[in-house]
């Protein structure tokens, strides 16, 4: 695949799980990729693996909740790889807790990481993209940006907000060449989902029963959709949200 040849992409939170799959997929499609995590030690193995497969990748440590570190992340892409055409806001976290017991600190932490950080990254990336004539921002939201489940007040609020943010940015920047989209995974076979199952009182059989396609997604299935949205194949798409949930939201029950 060469659909993204000549482009530079940042994937936040790409040291594992969906983020790692996205970084790997974008590199396979020809993009030079910035692998990001809070620490260099976590980001570097993924970048090294991409390079071992013939791709172009660097590792950059940055806390995406810190605007100064976000600026450093954007600068690294521009200075070391020659530009920035794609940003994937993947970094995020989950939390399962009864709403009446949800601590204020946990609420603030999740909103900061799952909503404020994507805004900071999108804003910083867009300043470069708008000046350079265009780019694509893909926000990794969730099926819970469309619906809700008990015990997920902070996560669901953040993901609903992220879809709203995607629409605003897509509308604002469309005429200046920057597309903004969101992808909404359902249950994906990652460590985060395993932890949510443990805390949320459900298991893989419940997911299989509840999901029309009868299984969890793989990280690669989400990554392929992100790569498409970042490509010219999706050139008439912006300010919208694509579900990759096996029919979860469409089914509507449990």
Catalytic residue set: 155
- Work out the end-to-end distance of the chain between its first and last CA atoms, rounded to an integer number of angstroms: 39
Residue (of 183, 177, 189) closest to 227 by Cα position: 183
Query: Cβ–Cβ contacts within 10 Å for residue 176, how many?
Result: 13
218 φψ region: left (φ > 0), alpha (ψ -120 to 50), beta (else)? beta
Per-residue burial over 193-211, b if 16 or more Cβ lie within 10 Å, else e, is beebbeebebeeeebeebb
In DSSP notation, 48-104 reads HHHHHTT-EEEEEE--TTSHHHHHHHHHHHHHHHS---EEEE---------GGG--H
């Amino acid at each position: 695949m060469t659909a993204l040849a000549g482009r530079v992409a940042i994937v936040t939170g790409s040291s594992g799980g969906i983020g790692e799959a996205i970084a790997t997929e974008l590199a396979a499609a020809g993009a030079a990729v910035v692998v990001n995590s809070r620490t260099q030690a976590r980001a570097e193995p993924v970048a090294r693996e991409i390079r071992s497969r013939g791709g172009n990748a660097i590792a950059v440590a940055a806390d995406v909740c810190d605007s100064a570190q976000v600026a450093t992340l954007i600068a690294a892409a521009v200075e070391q790889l020659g530009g920035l055409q794609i940003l994937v806001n993947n970094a995020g976290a989950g939390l399962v807790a009864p709403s009446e017991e949800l601590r204020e600190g946990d609420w603030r932490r999740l909103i900061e990481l799952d909503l404020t950080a994507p805004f900071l990254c999108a804003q910083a990336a867009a300043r470069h993209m708008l000046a350079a004539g265009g780019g694509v921002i893909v926000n990794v939201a969730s099926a819970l940006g469309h619906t809700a489940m008990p015990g997920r007040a902070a996560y669901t609020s953040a993901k609903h907000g992220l879809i709203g943010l995607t629409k605003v940015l897509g509308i604002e920047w469309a005429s200046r060449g920057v597309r903004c989209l969101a992808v909404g995974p359902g249950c994906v076979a990652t460590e985060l989902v395993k932890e949510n199952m443990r805390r949320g009182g459900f298991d893989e059989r419940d997911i299989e029963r509840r999901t029309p396609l009868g299984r969890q997604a793989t990280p690669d299935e989400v990554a392929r959709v992100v790569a498409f949205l970042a490509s010219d194949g999706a050139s008439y798409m912006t300010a919208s949200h694509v579900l990759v949930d096996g029919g979860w939201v469409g089914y509507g029950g449990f």
